[in-house]
Amino acid sequence: MASWKRDLASGLVVLLPIVVTLYVVWWIFVKLAAIALLSPLVTNPVVGVLLTLSVFLLVVFSVGYMMRTALGGFVEGVIDELFNQLPGLRIVYNASKMAVETALTGTSDLQKPVKVTLWNDMRMTAFKTGQKTQDGRDVLFLPTAPNITTGFVIELEPEKYEETGERVEEALTRVLSAGFGETAETTTVEKVVDD
């Protein structure tokens, strides 16, 4: 790769995430400032955003506290049932619920990253779930990249995959970044650069 292309790519890798992050923060600020929750009382947009976030956090913690009770489980079941009866919205609701649950439960359910060789010697990153089938196979989750909320649940015998020895966070970084988030410690493939 020519040096100017490498410099361009390196610059984009550094600057693009910063620009996207700043844009998202600005967009969220503008949307929160536009909420007419307390607009007649508050003229300063920064105070309005802080009050809106405070009210939102209060509601989130209140609902979260209620969800730990028996009533919370019942209410969640009713809401799930209601949305599952609405065509179109059912897909949006279930996808967003799964994405939030995946993001907030962390990596505790994914026990160890492994390498699975499927389809013409193609190696893929999968995660042990800690579950076994009745015939003794391990249940693995093979996520798609970069959206890890979708993927394949596969059943393999232990000799059909190999443990990587890396941490779950390192493997998730590789999958979420579509392979671009490798660090020096996790890169196992020699990179060839031609000038």
Structural domains in the chain, CATH included, are 3-76 (no CATH), 77-105 (no CATH), 112-176 (2.30.30)
DSSP symbol at 38 = S
pTM: 0.43
Provide the pLDDT for residue 186. Answer: 46
Provide the pLDDT for residue 184. Answer: 53
Q: Which of 145-149, 155-159, 183-187 is the least confident region?
A: 183-187
State whether residue 89 is helix, strand or coil: helix
**Nearest by Cα to 48 from 60, 28, 61, 34:** 34
Residue 104, Cβ neighbours under 10 Å: how many?
7
pLDDT in tens, 82-140: 888 888 778 877 777 776 766 665 555 567 899 998 878 888 889 888 888 899 899 99
